[in-house]
Chains A and B, each alone.
Chain A
């Protein structure tokens, strides 16, 4: 893996990673019209506001899709193949999907399954990246 990773955040989603470091999942809510935007935006496309608040949500969701990786593509060393990556729709905001891994590579994973997240950090390309590890509940 020789790809250079982007800056840790795009800028708009910086508070999301700050939230993870503080042990919380926070999503972006427009201060003008209260619409939740994900991925995070600089400007609300619905009302035009540039002001946002970051709302803490429950670390619970449902699996929207998943893959179990068997080939060593050179991602973070913490994710040794086989491992399962998941896309999870949040229970508190079901149009927001977050990406993470499952805690067990042999889990009986299925779309729609309920999951709960823990927050951790992985090392990748000389960076520490906060990320979510989900468990089936």
Chain B
């Protein structure tokens, strides 16, 4: 059986991001703009797009995008189940499935979120998951559901809360150096972090991503076709999605050894097996951080450090470009670049492979994209600068 193994590549990227409530057009218009940007970036006519894949309950049905884009022949539409960002990398897997089986040739992975059109993301995510058990206990927001897991990670497993702060500080370090980031030019001190209001213990305000309006699009084509387009291809080396028994929408009854994880136990294993790579082979990572502690758990799940080593590993100097052990969220991530349901992190993955990041890791050959942690279904992907032999 043929693996993904660099047989498809990201050839174009487009991101339009605005402060919440300030998008210049309704959601579909903003999305069309991002897709046009991705096509211009790649040098491909929008009318040549013949497939779409999305995640997280995106409300823009591909068929409705056809008129504005001039699409002649739509051949693939799919979305990953789940209301959160867990499916972001899995959507790349769908693009790979479509392209490698000849069902489509130019697939756009996209996510659009404009509050005036589709409401608050946090409410939409919860609408997907809420039930009477949780509502009766006052648990009605993603922040609370992630906080209750983070509490166990800190109090029971002994991961120091400073590990989560290091994630936040790394995001701000990179975001403050990215002209396109909401946090451009802004840094936060330890005191700012400590004094920010408490949302749901153990989370402070700065532990939480904040929604932006916007849309992002990444154009995927075969590796062969990508080499004929304008930009350096970012090859997809592997993608894994799913959940292991004992994880996922279980009314807080996840297995005790999985409860305080981010849900990547099986997904990470499949990703490493599929690509033949190990954590040491990863030069830079975009680790979806809906909330800081979930990014800590995600990095542990992927095997970059053991849970007992978290205090040593999660230090700012280890997490920043250009020379940290594992530079993460080099555009500022969801927390400091902006949050359009994580699509900005897929775009930053491509930029790192191209060498175009505002916080470039020198000669980055591999970039991990870890999807929305803690979701019932999670997914990860690895981008690479070269197609494996």
A positions within 8 Å CB-CB of B: 1-6, 8-10, 13, 17, 38-39, 64-71, 73-76, 79, 83, 85-87, 95-101, 110-111, 122, 124-125, 127, 129-132
In the complex, which residues of chain A have a beta carbon less than 8 angstroms from the beta carbon of B197? 70-71
In the complex, which residues of chain B have a beta carbon less than 8 angstroms from the beta carbon of A5? 130-132, 135
In the complex, which residues of chain A have a beta carbon less than 8 angstroms from the beta carbon of B200? 67-71
B positions within 8 Å CB-CB of A: 119-120, 123-124, 126-127, 130-141, 143-144, 147-149, 151-152, 155-156, 197-202, 250-253, 259-260
A101 lies within 8 A of B138 (CB): yes
A67 lies within 8 A of B201 (CB): yes
Taking a contact as CB atoms closer than 8 A, the residue among B131, B134, B199, B251 that contacts A97 in the complex is B251
In the complex, which residues of chain B have a beta carbon less than 8 angstroms from the beta carbon of A86? 137
In the complex, which residues of chain A have a beta carbon less than 8 angstroms from the beta carbon of B148? 65-67, 85, 87
B151 lies within 8 A of A124 (CB): no
A66 lies within 8 A of B151 (CB): yes
How many angstroms from the CA of A2 to the CA of B259 in the assembled complex? 28
A39 lies within 8 A of B250 (CB): yes
Residue ID in chain B nearest A17 by CB atoms: B132
How many angstroms from the CA of A1 to the CA of B197 in the assembled complex? 20
30 residue pairs from A and B, CB less than 8 Å apart: A1-B123, A2-B119, A3-B127, A3-B130, A5-B130, A5-B131, A64-B259, A65-B155, A67-B148, A67-B201, A68-B200, A69-B144, A69-B147, A70-B201, A71-B197, A75-B139, A75-B140, A76-B138, A79-B138, A85-B139, A95-B253, A99-B136, A101-B138, A122-B136, A127-B132, A129-B136, A130-B132, A131-B136, A131-B137, A132-B137
In the complex, which residues of chain A have a beta carbon less than 8 angstroms from the beta carbon of B132? 5-6, 8-9, 17, 127, 129-131
- Chain B min CB distance to A46 (Å): 12
In the complex, which residues of chain A have a beta carbon less than 8 angstroms from the beta carbon of B131? 5-6, 10
A99-B133, A132-B137 are known; give 8 further A-B pairs, CB within 8 A.
A2-B120, A3-B140, A9-B132, A64-B259, A65-B155, A68-B200, A75-B140, A111-B152
In the complex, which residues of chain B have a beta carbon less than 8 angstroms from the beta carbon of A110? 155
How many angstroms from the CA of A39 to the CA of B119 in the assembled complex? 30
B123 lies within 8 A of A2 (CB): yes
In the complex, which residues of chain A have a beta carbon less than 8 angstroms from the beta carbon of B143? 71, 73
- Chain A min CB distance to B117 (Å): 14
- Chain A min CB distance to B243 (Å): 14
In the complex, which residues of chain A have a beta carbon less than 8 angstroms from the beta carbon of B120? 2
In the complex, which residues of chain B have a beta carbon less than 8 angstroms from the beta carbon of A38? 251, 253
A87 lies within 8 A of B201 (CB): no
How many angstroms from the CA of A74 to the CA of B156 in the assembled complex? 29
How many angstroms from the CA of A90 to the CA of B389 in the assembled complex? 54
B137 lies within 8 A of A111 (CB): no
In the complex, which residues of chain B have a beta carbon less than 8 angstroms from the beta carbon of A124? 135-136
How many angstroms from the CA of A99 to the CA of B136 in the assembled complex? 8
A85 lies within 8 A of B137 (CB): yes
In the complex, which residues of chain A have a beta carbon less than 8 angstroms from the beta carbon of B155? 65, 110-111
How many angstroms from the CA of A122 to the CA of B134 in the assembled complex? 12
How many angstroms from the CA of A73 to the CA of B260 in the assembled complex? 23
B156 lies within 8 A of A65 (CB): yes
How many angstroms from the CA of A70 to the CA of B202 in the assembled complex? 11
Residue ID in chain A nearest B204 by CB atoms: A70
Q: Which 9 A-B pairs have the closest CB atoms?
A: A131-B136, A79-B138, A3-B127, A65-B152, A73-B141, A67-B147, A75-B140, A75-B138, A129-B136
How many angstroms from the CA of A74 to the CA of B130 in the assembled complex? 13
Residue ID in chain B nearest A134 by CB atoms: B137
